[in-house]
Amino acid sequence: YQGWAVRSTNEVLQLYAAHGQQQKVQRSSVVTQLHRAIKRLKQDLKSLHSFALELSKDFRRQSKTCLYQVLAAVQGIQLQNEAMQMFQIKAFDLEQSLQEVTERYEKEKQKRRALHNSLIELRGNIRVHCRIRPLLPFDDAAGQSISQDRQRNFSEKVAYASDDETVLVKCSRPGHASINKIFQFERVYNDSESQDAVFADVAPLLTSLLDGYNVCIMAYGQTGSGKTYTMLGPQLEGNCAFSIEDESELGIIPRATQEVFRLISEKPPGSYWVEVSVVEVYNNEIFDLLAKDSYGKVFGVKRDVVTTREGKSDVPLLTQETVENASEFLHLVSKGLQLRVQHPTLVHAHSSRSHLVVTLTITTVDFGDNFGTSWEDEQTSQRLNKEVSCTFPQKMRDKSTSSSGTSSPVQLEATEKMKQVKTRLQLVDLAGSECVGMSGVTGAALRETSFINRSLSALADVLGAIAEQRSHVPYRNSKLTHLLQDSLGGDAKLLVMLCISPGQKYLTESVQSLGFGTRARQVQRGQVKKKYFPVPSKAK
Ligand code: ADP
Ligand code: MG
């Protein structure tokens, strides 16, 4: 048992020793492992540290680069801004110089126009203005026999104002290459130009009317081209009177009258008076549209045109009504216009088949004081002495006679001292210039048309004879030219207002009108004479 016990104790001791050994071995291996782990951690930490260092260095490097880039970009933007500002300044400079050049161009253009006007005045040229009206709904309505394709062609626009002095016409015929024809006039109005714009160029002529010149404005063109619109304004349905509702639409005749009365209102009162006559030339007959029957009703009376001993044309017994303001004039002329003979043609339903001549006679009175001396010129006035008529209209006679009906010596002296000069404004709305075939008329209307054609060719012949300075000018070939003899022959500043329909359908007629205008423009009649007050003879 003791032996057993010793052996067991030994064994226990051995086991215990072995266990201790084992534990010792185990502990040391853990320590070693820990040691290794710590070493690794230390290394990791070290590399982490160096990585962090590297990272911060890199960050600093990169942020520096970024900063440089940002600075460079900012500088770039600043440069661009400066460049932009430079460009803006340059653009502004260019704009300013463009404006200056445009202004200078406009001034030069005006100067050239003024010079051209003086030249026209010196040569006694006929001014020709051309107005192209807009395309209108009735331009589409072609004859029934015309195919749809051609009809579409018909309403195509072929006449344009390429600038304010040039008309361009596209001439094309089937199977032929189209060609552009160019026509030049003193002024060309495009289809959007207003009645105001047209009148603005006419107004200066009215100033010269009061300065002692005769003036004649006539509208030429085919039916439906805008003659009546231009001269009177838009017409009411079936009525040839003024539609005064919209003043901006009024044509040359009412505006010219307003302007004449405006100019007169600036002169000494009583020094001017205005008489009106309205005449129609229909089938080569002259009708007085203001003549009244014994009941005072207006009706057209046939009159004749004669040549006076002084070689002037005159219509004896023509009714001359004195008017004192523009509305009196409009009222009177509207009444006369109701009588204007009309006949519908295929071209336009309200075409006028007659020539209309509205004449304003302005009598200027010199009461013997110094008023009007600017008009005096001895040589011319001696010659014109004969022209001066000494008949006063009723209203003036009433003013100059005393209530007892006999003139006192003082009044007689005053009347003797009083001198007067007449100037004349003729406003003409010609009948349509189209050819017979175009309108498709027959019978009585054909007769009308042939009279119109004859009178318009007589007009062209007269201008041709003046242009060629022929000794005989055939004024008496038609009543129209006989009536307008003085104005055509160089006694008046003459303005022809060509009216043009822009559609392909009217190409032939438009080219004919433009040709008429071009020929008229070349006529040189010698300087238009100014009317002067007669100078009292030296013996007096
Ligand atoms: P004409 O007297 O030459 O026969 P009108 O003056 O009667 O022609 O014009 C024909 C039509 O065209 C009318 O209905 C008129 O109102 C219109 N018209 C003419 N010219 C113009 C224009 N410039 N602007 C607008 N309408 C116009
Ligand atoms: Mg007309």
DSSP designation for 392: P
Q: Per the annotation, does 227 bind a ligand?
A: yes
Q: Closest ligand 1 atom, CA of 229? A: 6
Closest ligand 1 atom to residue 350 Cα is 7
223 is in an annotated binding site: yes
Find out whether the beta carbon of 499 lies less than 6 Å from any atom of ligand 1.
yes
Which one of the ligands is nearest to 221 CA? 1
Q: Are the C-beta atoms of 240 and 337 separated by less than 8 Å?
A: yes
The model's pTM? 0.75
Known binding residue 443? Answer is no
506 lines ligand 1 (CB under 6 A): no
Tell which one of 189, 222, 229, 340 to mutate to probe ligand 1, the residue whose CB is within 8 A of the most ligand atoms: 229
Half-sphere exposure of 73 (CA within 13 A, CB side): 6
225 is in an annotated binding site: yes
How many Å apart are CA 86 and CA 80, to the nearest integer?
10
Q: At 399, which amino acid appears?
A: K
Closest CA to 256 of 159, 329, 357, 188: 329
Pick from 130, 133, 198 the residue to mutate for probing ligand 1's pocket: most ligand atoms within 8 Å of its CB: 133
DSSP state of 476: G
Long-range contact set of residues 467-476: C-beta below 8 Å, sequence gap at least 24: 467/519, 467/522, 467/523, 467/524, 475/313, 476/307
Helix (H, G, I), strand (E, B) or coil at 245: coil
State the SS3 of 270-316. CCEEEEEEEEEEECCEEEECCCECCCCCECCEEECCEECCCCCEECC
**Whole-number Å distance between alpha carbons of 236 and 434:** 23
Q: Is the dihedral of CA 117, 119, 124, 126 positive or negative?
A: negative
Question: Length of the chain in residues, anyone?
Answer: 540
Q: What is the pLDDT along the chain (540 residues), one digit of tens a residue?
A: 677 778 778 888 888 888 888 888 899 999 999 999 999 999 999 999 999 999 999 999 999 999 999 999 999 999 999 999 999 999 999 999 999 999 999 999 889 888 888 888 888 889 999 999 999 887 876 544 445 555 556 678 999 999 999 999 998 877 778 899 999 999 999 999 999 999 999 999 999 898 888 999 999 999 899 999 999 998 765 555 565 667 889 999 999 999 999 999 998 888 899 999 999 998 899 999 898 877 777 777 889 999 999 888 999 999 999 999 999 998 888 888 877 655 455 554 455 788 999 999 999 887 655 444 444 443 344 434 434 333 344 444 444 333 333 344 444 455 555 678 899 999 999 998 887 665 566 777 788 888 888 999 999 999 999 888 899 999 999 999 999 998 998 888 999 999 999 998 899 999 999 999 999 998 888 887 787 776 655 444
223 lines ligand 1 (CB under 6 A): yes
